[in-house]
């Protein structure tokens, strides 16, 4: 028998309040971070569309990622037609 006995075996921790994933910051999973150079950007917005997490924002050739949620996958840098995004090693 386990040493710790719970008083009740009712389900707990099965559900959480809705929308809680917004509070769950996944940015810490990142090993590389995107650098938006704002140099050759042609406003094609491909980076915005391909981001799997939907965390790239901006307009008028000035784009940026919400680093609380960017997991550093690098798809934006790979797909940027003018190579205006670099991936740099994350240093913490």
Partner 1 sequence: MKKVIEGSMAVALAVKACRPHVISAYPITPQTHIVENLSQMVADGELKSEFVNVESEFSAASVILGASATGARAYSTTTAQGLLLMTEVLFNIAGLRLPVSLTCANRAISAPINIWCDHQDAMTVRDSGWIQLYAEDCQEAADMQLQAFKIGENPEIMLPVMVNMDGFILTHAFEPIELLDQKMADEYLPPYKPEIFLTTKNPVTFGILAEPQYYAESRYRLEEAIKASKPVIEEAASEFKRIFGRYSGGLVDKYKLDGAKTALVGMGSVVGTMREVVDEMNSHGQKSGLLKIRTYRPFPKEAIYDALKDVDNIIVMEKAISLGLGGILLNELKSIFQGKKKQPRISGFIIGLGGRDIPTQSIINAVKKVESETIEDEFIDLRTELIGAGK
The footprint of partner 1 (CB under 8 A) covers 2, 5-6, 8-20, 24
CB of 30 to partner 1, least distance (A): 16
Q: Which is nearer to partner 1, 13 or 92 (CB)?
A: 13
CB of 6 to partner 1, least distance (A): 6
Give CB contacts under 8 A, 24+ apart, made by 74-77.
74/32, 74/34, 75/50, 75/51, 76/34, 76/46, 76/47, 76/50, 76/51, 77/34
Q: Which is nearer to partner 1, 16 or 49 (CB)?
A: 16
Q: Which is nearer to partner 1, 23 or 59 (CB)?
A: 23
CB of 72 to partner 1, least distance (A): 19
Spatial CB neighbours of 60, under 8 Å, sequence gap ≥ 6: 43
């Amino acid at each position: 028998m386990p040493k710790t006995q719970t008083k009740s075996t009712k389900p707990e921790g099965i559900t959480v309040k809705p929308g809680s994933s917004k509070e769950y910051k996944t940015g810490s999973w990142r090993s590389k971070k995107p650098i938006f150079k704002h140099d050759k950007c042609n406003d094609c917005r491909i980076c915005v569309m391909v981001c799997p997490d939907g965390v790239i924002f901006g307009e008028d050739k000035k784009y940026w990622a919400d680093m609380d949620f960017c997991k550093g996958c690098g798809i934006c840098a790979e797909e940027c037609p003018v190579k205006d995004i670099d991936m740099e090693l994350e240093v913490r």
